[in-house]
A = this chain, B = another copy of it.
Amino acid sequence: MRLAARPSGEVKPSDWEPADAEVPEPGEGEFAGRTLAISLDPAMRGWLDDRPSYVPPVGLGEVMRAGSVVEVTASRHPDYAVGDHVTGLFGVQTHVVSGGRGTLKVDLDRAPAATWLGALGLTGMTAYFGLLDVGALAEGETVVVSGAAGAVGTIVGQIARIKGCRVVGIAGGPEKCAMLVDELGFDAAIDYRAQDVRRALRPEVGDGIDVYFDNVGGEILDAALANLRRGARVVICGAISQYNSATGVKGPSNYLSLLVNRARMEGFVVFDYAKRYGEAAAEIAGWIADGSLTTREHVVQGTVDDFPDTLQMLFRGENVGKLVLELV
């Protein structure tokens, strides 16, 4: 998929056009691969806007940026052999060529492709560094995470639980909320579609929130700000409720809670932690292996042509856990 037009508000089918179907040959020092699975991430919406950000926008006519897992089909690179599996930002296309920079070989016998894009990929890194490093989580604290049933949220909540914290998730719908508590071990879950989040949080957070991990922005961010404890950390990971807004972002009107509570709100970009990915992946893999962390993947089977529709699932809240398009 290539970006055909810059979307305003929600992304439309006409904003995309198919990429070339040709199968490329690797040059010297390159390998060629066939895409097995593509990661779908809320941050993708931001990459479509033509404005300065932490990465350049996807150019008009360019292949859409995306993380994926590929199988090497031909190689003129000494480190990659046919049959190897590799993750990287290879884009939304069936066949790729790469010089290997920024890629990582993965073992699909240890974990499926979706997990390498999820808990063991950038999703897991985002949860890990956002919560522990930016959020400076301490044992026994009270953590609230929004988008709790999403890719990052499911991992944030479980890491907080593993660290001995009380964890409250905010998600949409009774099924997601039940899953958080019954299957992932959250202490409580709030259904933002059915409940007044600000009021529902109050009895769940005791003396207030120590770390609020925000994936959604908007009214839910305000509800969390209204329930901070003194010295709280608000981690700004994303704002999925705002990305499709054509009328502008709603700023958090309760931001003066930062003053009253001597609290801080801080943003981060996971790429800054690249040198420490190994450390995080090893710890997360250990938690998966000993059963303390459950991975949740939502795998859609299809072709690259299904990318636009699958992406929209994120903004409609239709996924549970990591959303992945598996090419069949």
A256–B269 touching, CB < 8 Å = no
A230 to chain B, nearest CB (A): 9
B250–A252 touching, CB < 8 Å = no
- Chain B residues contacting A312 (CB-CB under 8 Å) are none
- Chain B residues contacting A250 (CB-CB under 8 Å) are 251, 253
A236–B256 touching, CB < 8 Å = yes
- Chain B residues contacting A260 (CB-CB under 8 Å) are 52-54, 267, 269
A263 at interface (Cβ–Cβ under 8 A)? yes
A265 at interface (Cβ–Cβ under 8 A)? yes
Cβ-neighbour of A264 out of B217, B248, B266, B272 (below 8 A): B266
**Complex Cα spacing A249 to B272, Å:** 33
- Chain B residues contacting A238 (CB-CB under 8 Å) are 259
* Most chain B beta-carbon contacts within 10 A, residue among A53, A222, A248, A265: A265
A143 at interface (Cβ–Cβ under 8 A)? no
Chain A interface bracket (under 10, 10 to 19, 20 to 34, 35 or more): 20 to 34
- Chain B residues contacting A263 (CB-CB under 8 Å) are 266-267
Q: Which of A257-279 contact B (CB under 8 A)?
A: 257-269, 272
A239 at interface (Cβ–Cβ under 8 A)? yes
**Complex Cα spacing A54 to B253, Å:** 18
A315 at interface (Cβ–Cβ under 8 A)? no
A255 at interface (Cβ–Cβ under 8 A)? yes
A268–B272 touching, CB < 8 Å = no
Chain A residues with CB under 8 Å of chain B are 52-54, 217, 222, 236-239, 242, 248-269, 272
Q: 12 pairs across A/B with beta carbons < 8 Å?
A: A53-B260, A239-B259, A249-B253, A251-B253, A252-B252, A258-B265, A258-B267, A260-B267, A261-B267, A262-B267, A262-B269, A262-B272
